[in-house]
Amino acid sequence: MFTGIVTDVGRVRRLHRGRDAEGSLALTIATAYDCAAIPLGASIACSGVCLTVVAVESGAFAVEASAETLARSTLSDWVEGTPVNLERALKVGDELGGHIVAGHVDGVARLLDRRPEGDSVRLVIAAPAELMPYIASKGSVALDGVSLTVNEVAAASFGVNLIPYTLAHTGFGEARPGQRMNLEIDPIARYLARLLGARSETSEQS
């Protein structure tokens, strides 16, 4: 479990695409974390995708992504040097600074527009149609692993504002229109929709 508060922006140091028919990806990510203190098997959110550490080296850790992960996220777009928003797993007693984030990507969004708005920057994001009902004004989403508040919602897109601190301490400082982003909806919205759907089905059957 994570909170959507990025604690380091790493960089892809190396990547190797598997030879298996289904496809896989091995990634080594450079980071400012104390890698000697990262145990094998630890979970780290990498731009919103929860991945398991399989090896560590000086100034970097290694993870592997399956074909399923590649199909449902932006990891297949990554190349050497790609910035990666990093967050270590939440510990009991840690501050919940953002919102509850599982690290399970619901879909891939796309940056439509980026423009200055006062001291901040407004991003307009196109989301998959099936996820738009779960996105509400003043609600929370995780974009590339960053907990953000939704400012407004349109038919097929939504807007968020990024303050200078967020731009400086995440990969959003380099984000440009057309870029794909990992999107995770608020899990509370997901379970509420499931609950209401179940009640509706029960009502129709009775």
Q: What is the pLDDT of residues 178-187, one digit of tens each?
A: 999 999 999 8
So what CATH class is 107-193?
Answer: mainly beta
Write out the two tokens for 33.
Answer: 């974390």
Do 8-88 and 107-193 come out as alike in CATH topology? yes
Task: Give the H or E element holding residue 85.
Answer: strand 83-88
What is the three-state SS of 101-112? ECCCCCEEEEEE
85 within 8 A of 101, measured Cβ to Cβ: no
CA-to-CA separations, 49 to 71, 107, 204, in angstroms, rounded: 12, 11, 37
Per-residue pLDDT of 24-42, as tens digits, reads 899 999 999 999 999 999 9
Comparing 88-102, 108-122, 140-154, the range with the smallest average pLDDT is 88-102
Residue 200 has pLDDT above 70, yes or no: no
Q: Residue 190's pLDDT is what?
A: 79
Where in the chain are the domains?
A: 8-88, 107-193
- Give me the CATH code for the 8-88 domain, please: 2.40.30.20
Write out the two tokens for 125.
Answer: 């994001």
Task: For residue 57, give the nearest of 75, 76, 74, 34 by alpha carbon.
Answer: 34
Query: What whole-number distance in Å separates Cα of residue 43 and Cα of residue 173?
Result: 25
Per-residue pLDDT of 30-87, as tens digits, reads 999 999 999 999 999 999 999 999 999 999 999 999 999 999 999 999 999 999 999 9
Record the pTM: 0.90
Write out the two tokens for 66.
Answer: 């399956």
Write out the two tokens for 76.
Answer: 């297949």
The mean pLDDT value for 87-92 works out to 91
| Sign of the dihedral defined by the CA atoms of residues 116, 121, 126, 132, in that order | negative
65 within 8 A of 25, measured Cβ to Cβ: yes
Phi, psi of 169 (to 5 degrees): -115, 15
Q: Residue 192's pLDDT is what?
A: 82
Share of the chain above pLDDT 70, in %: 94
Share of the chain above pLDDT 90, in %: 80
